[in-house]
């Protein structure tokens, strides 16, 4: 078996320990004589999985009892529509802070459903910073404030929680489970699974219970958070395999010491990669230092003409998926939970050698 170091932005690396359990489990899951993909989501085995999965997630994130844990399909993108649909009426106003492409997309969805106020927007500098909170133009009567905790493309992360009294709705797709958070700072947290949770196909939504009642009465069943809350997320057939893998990932995280332990590893990984970039005259990261992402590290080479060579040689060295997003150019190393520290060490070593030979 040959595994590479995978820096994909998503779907992203999964822990090898989890993949090995899956391989073992597939033909005969829990003595059922079937794989987890072949059994009813209403079987006692699967319901047991769902209960353990939620209990473990609640432990990992210290989710308070007055919050519901929902699992949906449709990815984070569907939650960009479900948030305004569930939290607003057509005459409501919502505040959006747009610090990257995902936030822009979320704001676009909200604008279709209610009055959109762009409280702040960092597109003037190609989404390389978070505008100072004191300058945000917030409305008096917003139903909520939306932020993207980590902008996966430009590599910009909130290192603070915005103030104010209205519920904060946060897209945490690429930051969830990377460190402890205070769930009660938020009204709603949503995250597609394929960065830090598991395979694509399942989406996590954490909603404060008083926000579950939809503000409109004509929503399709599957577009109402309340439906998921009332059915233990078995409103219709859920993506059982993705749910099963998420359960294994949560068990794995608890096994390594939970999010405090994970955060320490992630901090070391990010610090050493940024330090290597900053120490070099050949590589650079364009993001303002106090809002750099710990999960997605974009960097550009001194000469874009070397990009193709960098990608070819890194691939040959067993380092994959380093190509940057087309809107940013250059490279991007996504160093999610399942990317081991030794992968970051190998990348740093490769970068130094590439600079020595081509810089």
| Residue (301 or 339) nearer to ligand PLP, CB | 339
* Cα–Cα distance measured from residue 53 to residue 126, given in angstroms and rounded to the nearest whole number: 39
Point out the catalytic residue in the list 71, 95, 171, 226.
171
Does 324 engage in binding with ligand PLP (CB under 6 A)?
no
| Residue (95 or 109) nearer to ligand PLP, CB | 109
* Cα–Cα distance measured from residue 270 to residue 62, given in angstroms and rounded to the nearest whole number: 24
Is 345 an annotated catalytic residue? no
Out of 162, 192, 214, 239, the residue judged to bind ligand PLP by CB under 6 A = 192
* Least CB distance to ligand PLP at residue 100 (A): 8
Give SS3 for 295: coil
* Cα–Cα distance measured from residue 164 to residue 187, given in angstroms and rounded to the nearest whole number: 12
* Least CB distance to ligand PLP at residue 102 (A): 4
Does 77 engage in binding with ligand PLP (CB under 6 A)?
yes
Q: Between residue 117 and residue 156, which ones bind ligand PLP under the rule CB under 6 A? A: 148, 152
Residue 230 contacts by C-beta under 8 Å, 6 or more apart in sequence?
A: none
Does 285 engage in binding with ligand PLP (CB under 6 A)?
no
Give the C-alpha distances (Å, rounded to integers) separating 234 from 39, 122, 200, 335. Answer: 14, 39, 18, 32
Does 258 engage in binding with ligand PLP (CB under 6 A)?
no
Out of 61, 76, 107, 347, the residue judged to bind ligand PLP by CB under 6 A = 76
Element spanning 94, H or E: strand 93-98
Alpha-carbon torsion (85, 89, 90, 95), positive or negative:
negative
Question: For residues 153 and 171, is the Cβ–Cβ distance under 8 A?
Answer: no
* Least CB distance to ligand PLP at residue 322 (A): 17
Does 102 engage in binding with ligand PLP (CB under 6 A)?
yes
Closest CA to 337 of 274, 271, 269: 269
Does 330 engage in binding with ligand PLP (CB under 6 A)?
no
Is 112 an annotated catalytic residue? no
Q: Concatenated DSSP letters for 187-242?
A: SEEEEETTTTTSSTT-EEEEEEGGG-S-S-S---GGG-HHHHHHTTT-SS---HHH
Of the candidate spans 166-174, 270-278, 310-318, 340-348, the one that interacts with ligand PLP by CB under 6 A turns out to be 166-174
Question: For residues 73 and 201, is the Cβ–Cβ distance under 8 A?
Answer: yes
Site string for ligand PLP, 7-26 (x = CB under 6 A): ---x----------------
How many residues at the interface with ligand PLP, by CB under 6 A?
Answer: 12
Closest CA to 250 of 77, 36, 63: 63
| Residue (11 or 318) nearer to ligand PLP, CB | 11
| Residue (241 or 282) nearer to ligand PLP, CB | 241
Is 171 an annotated catalytic residue? yes
**So which residues are the catalytic ones?**
102, 171, 195
Binding site for ligand PLP (CB under 6 A): 10, 75-77, 102, 148, 152, 171, 173-174, 192, 195
């Amino acid at each position: 078996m040959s595994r590479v170091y995978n820096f994909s932005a998503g779907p992203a690396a999964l822990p090898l320990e989890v993949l090995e359990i899956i391989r073992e489990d597939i033909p005969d899951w829990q003595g059922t004589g079937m794989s987890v993909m072949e059994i009813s989501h209403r079987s006692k085995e699967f319901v047991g999985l769902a209960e353990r999965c939620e209990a473990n997630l609640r432990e990992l994130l210290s989710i308070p009892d007055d919050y519901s844990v929902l699992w949906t399909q449709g990815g984070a993108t569907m939650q960009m529509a479900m948030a305004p649909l569930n939290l607003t009426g057509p005459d409501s106003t919502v505040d959006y802070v747009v610090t990257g492409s995902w936030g822009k997309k979320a704001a676009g969805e909200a604008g279709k459903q209610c009055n959109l106020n762009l409280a702040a927007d960092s597109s003037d500098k190609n989404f390389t910073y978070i505008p100072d909170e004191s300058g945000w133009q917030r409305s008096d009567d917003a139903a909520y404030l939306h932020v993207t905790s980590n902008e996966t493309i430009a590599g910009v992360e909130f290192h603070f929680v915005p103030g104010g009294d209205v519920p904060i709705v946060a897209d945490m797709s690429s930051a969830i489970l990377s460190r402890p958070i205070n769930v009660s700072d938020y009204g709603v947290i949503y995250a597609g699974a394929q960065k830090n949770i598991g395979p694509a196909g399942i989406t996590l939504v954490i909603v404060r219970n008083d926000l579950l009642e939809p503000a409109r009465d004509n929503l399709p069943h599957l577009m109402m958070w309340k439906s998921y809350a009332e059915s233990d997320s078995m409103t219709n057939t859920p993506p059982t395999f993705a749910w099963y893998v998420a359960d294994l990932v949560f068990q794995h995280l608890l096994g390594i010491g939970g999010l405090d332990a994970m955060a320490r590893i992630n901090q070391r990984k990010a610090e050493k990669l940024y330090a290597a970039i900053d120490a070099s005259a050949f590589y650079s990261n364009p993001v303002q230092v106090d809002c750099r992402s710990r999960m997605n590290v974009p960097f550009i080479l001194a000469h874009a003409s070397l990009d193709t060579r960098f990608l070819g040689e890194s691939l040959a060295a067993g380092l994959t998926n380093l190509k940057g997003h087309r809107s940013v150019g250059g490279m991007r190393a996504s160093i999610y939970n399942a990317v081991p520290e030794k992968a970051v060490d190998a990348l740093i070593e490769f970068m130094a050698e590439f600079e020595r030979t081509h810089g």
